[in-house]
Amino acid sequence: MRRFTCLTLFVFLPLFFGTANAQTTTDSVKTAVNSLFTAMMHADSVALMKCFAPGAVLQTVVKDKQGTVSVRTEAISGFASSIGQLPKDAADERITFDVVKIDGDLATAWTPYNFYFQQQLLHCGVNSFQLVRLAEGWKIQYIIDTRRKNGCQ
């Protein structure tokens, strides 16, 4: 019986601790993403800049009136500056985590969202985040999002 107990512990304890570690890593990725939206709510451009890795990219998929799709790139510094000029609590992006995938020091998060400006629903869409784990922790390397005004919930 003792041999069976030892064998059981040997087999199942690593599975438990491996799952706990994966959960902790997933939570730390979510925390890094949520830090961006907390900084936006607080109109804190300094905290917002700390969410990003050096050389990070911010892009949006846009469609013009003729239906032509293109990708618009915005400088992280310009985005942070514009957020910093807003009143506190004006920019409220409410996300859900649909998918978080991690491989070593690379993570992907897919987050549907509703964006409220001064408590009015402005648009919705999906954010696709690429994060990298640096010495300081998880940092956002790349965001691309979609935006639409119809079909928001």
Between 55 and 18, the more confident residue is: 55
Q: What are the pLDDT digits (tens) for 104-132? A: 999 999 999 999 999 999 999 999 999 99
Structure tokens at 12: 């199942």
pTM of the entire predicted model: 0.84
pLDDT category at 11 given cuts 50, 70, 90 is very low
Q: Which residue(s) pair with 124 in the sheet?
A: 114, 148
pLDDT category at 24 given cuts 50, 70, 90 is confident
Structure tokens at 139: 């940092």
**Statement: residue 20 has pLDDT above 80:** no
d(CA 109, CA 30): 8
- What pLDDT score was predicted for residue 153? 80
**Statement: residue 6 has pLDDT above 60:** no
Report all structural domains of the chain as residue ranges with CATH numbers, in order of start: 2-146 (3.10.450.50)
**Statement: residue 8 has pLDDT above 50:** no
